[in-house]
Amino acid sequence: MKDWNWELIIDHGSLTEGPTWTKEGLLYSQCDESLTWIYNSKDGSNKVWRKDTNGSNGMLLDTSGNLYACEGAGRRLVRYEKDVETEVIASEFEGSPFNEPNDLAIYPDDAHIWFSDPNYGGRDLSIEHESVYLASKNESEWLISRATFDTDRPNGVLLSKDSKKLYVANSPHNFDNPEIRRELRSYEIKPDFSLGEYEVLHDFGPHRGVDGMTLDSNGNIVATAGFDRSGPGPMIYHFEEDGRVIDSFKTPSDYPTNCTFGGDDQNFLFVTFGTGALYQIRDTGLKGLRK
Amino acid sequence: MWKFEQLKKANGNLTEGPVWTGSDILLTDGRKNRILRYDIVSGKIETFLDETFGVNGLNFNSNGELFGCEQKGRRVVKYENDESVSVVADKVEGKRLSAPNDLAIDLGGNIWFSDQIPSIDQKPQLNYSAIIKASKNKLGFYETERMTFDTTSPNGLLFSKDYRTLYVAQSDFRGNEKRELRSYPVLDDGSLGRYEVLHDFGPHRGIDGMTLDSEGNIVATCGWEISGPGPMIYLFDKAGRILLTQRTPCLRPSNVTFGGENLDIMFVTTLEGHLFRVENSGLKGYLLYP
């Protein structure tokens, strides 16, 4: 098995997340500082792209190029446009603000957005359960419905290549409790966009589960998981759709949080870390699925 | 992709316990109470030993003496060269064993085996399923000792290269119990310490049998057709990292070992009764004997 060549782009010293490839470069979040950065892979520069992002975490482009973000501390799902005021997509469910929106997946019609609402930050729960929600666009209005009823603490969410399944990382912490499970799940998406039964694709047992995920061009899942504290360690996993582990790659920094493909040919992998590092790998041999 | 060459067809009778003798592969056909011998040169499979009372796991000690777990016989035995049998263990803590499944032998010649309460057909005397150790006392008789207190259905077991770790497959089919690959430290007094979970199979079929490769990684047979990624051979490193996975052309692989002059041919048994050979795995085995 070939090891990857990891190139450190920058180390911010506090958690990076939400890597998103755009025409202008790689956008990513520095959550605790409420900053969105842009890395230009052509000239190697890093610049602040947006400030005061309320703990923005996961970000994603829709097929029309709209950028959506989960503002964890802000308890809301929003849309960003450069130098334009933030548009709020979802900020409450049944009258309560969300807990801490974390990550999102967008259906190819650009009118359905699933987002996870865990509570990692330690604030009192605003909503008594930690679930995945669906924001559905109706004319110009976004309607919010609850999508999962069996998650403990959902984190990364990702749509399958055929858009028929939603992959959900159920990744509670509570690492001192051996009975708590951390699973990568695959939920069936029904014709009305509600979610059906899930299958467990991979069980991380007592170790840290999946944080962020992205698809490769074959529809396989590239996922960040693990930590130094226990188990096989911090790792990028490469899963087939049925959960078979094709490969695993140790990461050079602890606590990998998310990853995405970028570059003109979608063949660079960018990985963010809890340590604040941002790495790129140009020799994975994989390509991203451009939508 | 590995090429699985079928040496024995499925007939519905589980094959298990593959071991390399130095010139042949022995495997078990427990339902017929037989040990079979696959002649690597002629390709013939013939009966090596009869009347083995449901023999399942087999293993050699470092002297080349052959031991087996007899599930129906509820005992662990040594198969002598004159075709007689010596009982190594049939009781622990004064009660009859339930159904010994698989065994691993340390450098001191102690026989470590998994004992499972079967789900059917038996009134067990023991109220636990555990790893048991059979060690010779000063008079040369084997004495048994319970080694795990946290297993509900131990299956394959395997020592690390340095014998400081015992890998145990906790593989309970009951949904509310666990299917995990665990590593137990072997403490200086010969007891086992607290285990770490190297891998969790969640709701899917866990590990049946295991063997070491030359790097000290764990080659394991697991998975099934019913759920999850399917029937598979996994290669784990010592920390539980999955180095590779390979789908198998059977529904439920049961066990695996390496053979051939260079220990670079993999042999795989199955619940359906196959014997497969893989020559292009790129892996080599690490065996206590030969």
**Cross-chain CB nearest to A240 (options B198, B200, B229):** B229
What pLDDT was estimated at residue A1?
57
Q: Does B202 touch chain A (CB under 8 A)?
A: yes
Q: Are A115 and A77 in contact (CB under 8 A)?
A: yes
| pLDDT interval class at B38 (50, 70, 90) | very high
Nearest to B239 among A200, A205, A233 (CB): A233
CB < 8 Å to B228, chain A: 199-201, 242-243
pLDDT at residue B211 tops 90: yes
Residues of chain A found within 8 Å of residue B227, distances taken between Cβ atoms: 199
Distance from CA of B196 to the nearest CA of A (A): 8
DSSP state of B73: T
Contacts of B215 (CB under 8 A, 6+ apart): none
Write down the pLDDT at residue A291. Answer: 63
Quote the pLDDT of residue A179: 78
Chain A CB contacts of B215 below 8 Å: none
**Which of A199, A206, A245 lies nearest to residue B197, judging by beta carbons?**
A206
DSSP 3-state of A31: helix
Show the CA angle centred on residue A213, arms to residues A161 and A59, nearest 5°: 95
Please name the member of A205, A240, A248 whose beta carbon is closest to the beta carbon of B197.
A205
Amino acid at A245: V
pLDDT tens string B218-253: 999 999 999 999 999 999 999 999 999 999 999 999
Domain-wise residue ranges, chain A: 6-281
**pLDDT tens sequence across B263-282:** 999 999 999 999 999 999 99
Cβ contact (<8 Å) for A248 and B242?
yes
Task: For residue A138, list its beta bridge partners.
Answer: A141
Contacts of B241 in chain A (CB under 8 A): 232-233, 235, 248, 250
Please indicate whether, in this complex, the C-beta atoms of B200 and A203 are within 8 angstroms of each other: yes
pLDDT tens digit at each of 291 positions of chain A: 578 999 999 999 999 999 999 999 999 999 999 999 999 999 999 999 999 999 999 999 999 999 999 999 999 999 999 999 999 999 999 999 999 999 999 999 999 999 999 999 999 999 999 999 999 999 989 999 999 999 999 999 999 999 999 999 999 998 888 778 899 999 999 999 999 999 999 999 999 999 999 999 999 999 999 999 999 999 999 999 999 999 999 999 999 999 999 999 999 999 999 999 999 999 999 999 976
Burial label, A161 (beta-carbon count in 10 A; 0-12, 13-18, 19+) = middle
For residue B182, the chain A residues in CB contact (below 8 A) are none
In this predicted structure, the answer to whether residue B115 has a pLDDT above a threshold of 70 is yes
Of the residues B178, B199, B205, the best mutation for testing chain A's interface (the one with the most A CB atoms within 10 Å of its CB) is: B199
Contact status, residue A168 vs residue A148, Cβ threshold 8 Å: yes
Concatenated DSSP letters of A87-156: EEEE-EETTEE-S----EEE-TTSSEEEEEE---S-PPPSSSS-EEEEEEEETTEEEEEE--SS-SSEEE
What confidence tens digit (pLDDT) does each residue in B5-20 have? 999 999 999 999 999 9
Q: Which chain B residue shows the shortest CA-CA distance from A245? A: B245
Residue contact B229–A244, C-beta within 8 A: yes
Do the chains contact at A205 and B230, CB–CB below 8 Å?
A: no
Judge whether B239 is closer than 8 Å to chain A, CB to CB: yes
Q: Residue B177: closest CA among chain A residues belongs to which residue?
A: A179
pLDDT band at B64 (very low <50, low <70, confident <90, very high): very high
pLDDT at B86: 97
Q: Are B241 and A247 inside 8 Å of each other by CB? A: no
pLDDT attached to residue B122: 75
Q: Which residues of B touch A246 (CB under 8 A)?
A: 245
Q: How far is A104 from chain B (nearest CA, A)?
A: 25
- pTM, entire model: 0.95
B233–chain A Cβ distance below 8 A for any pair: no
pLDDT of residue A211: 98
Interface residue B216 vs chain A (CB under 8 A): no
Question: For residue B144, which of B85, B74, B199 has the smallest C-alpha distance?
Answer: B74
d(CA A69, CA A82): 13
pLDDT at residue A177, as a whole number: 85
State how far Cα A125 lies from the chain centre.
21
Q: Do B200 and A248 touch (CB under 8 A)?
A: no
Task: Name every chain B residue with its beta carbon within 8 A of the beta carbon of A203.
Answer: 200-204
Cβ pairs bridging A and B (under 8 Å):
64
Q: A263: exposed, middle or buried (C-beta count within 10 Å: 0-12, 13-18, 19+)? A: middle
CATH of domain A6-281: 2.120.10.30
Asked if B203's CB is within 8 angstroms of A206's CB, the reply is no
Find the CB nearest A243 among B228, B237, B247. B228
pLDDT over 70, % of chain B: 100
Mutate to test the interface with B, among A179, A202, A221 (most CBs of B within 10 A): A202
Does B197 contact A181 at a Cβ distance shorter than 8 Å? no
